[in-house]
Copies of this chain bind each other. A is one copy, B any other.
């Protein structure tokens, strides 16, 4: 069971389920600070992540309308990810987390 499967009533649940997924915040943070980024670059920036999980997470974020996937069928193909307006909402939250992190650990 996913923890988030419970408490269907709370509107926070699906959002929390998304954000607490592995690497998710890291990916969003990278996209928000680096701007639109290609798959390969993203994989290098989010150090330690596997292709499988990165793809998986990007799909979930795309489905949640947090990121856009821009696919150019060139050879070789070129796929760029960038935050949507929803992604920017989350960026604001992460900026606050960043502020808190500094407050706590400095």
Tell me the A residues contacting B by CB distance below 8 Å: 1, 3, 5-7, 11-12, 14-16, 19-26, 29, 47-49, 65, 86, 89-90, 92-94, 96-98, 100-106
Closest B residue to A53 by beta carbon equals B3
**Number of copies of this kind of chain in the complex:** 2
Contact with A12, one of B1, B20, B97 (Cβ below 8 angstroms)? B97
Q: Contacts A6-B47, A7-B47, A11-B102: A97 and B16 contacting too (C-beta < 8 A)?
A: yes
Cα of A18 to Cα of B100 in the assembled complex, Å? 13
Q: Is the pair B26, A16 in contact by a Cβ cutoff of 8 Å? A: yes
9 example contacts (A-B, Cβ-Cβ < 8 A) are as follows: A3-B22, A7-B47, A14-B105, A20-B21, A65-B104, A89-B100, A92-B96, A93-B93, A96-B96
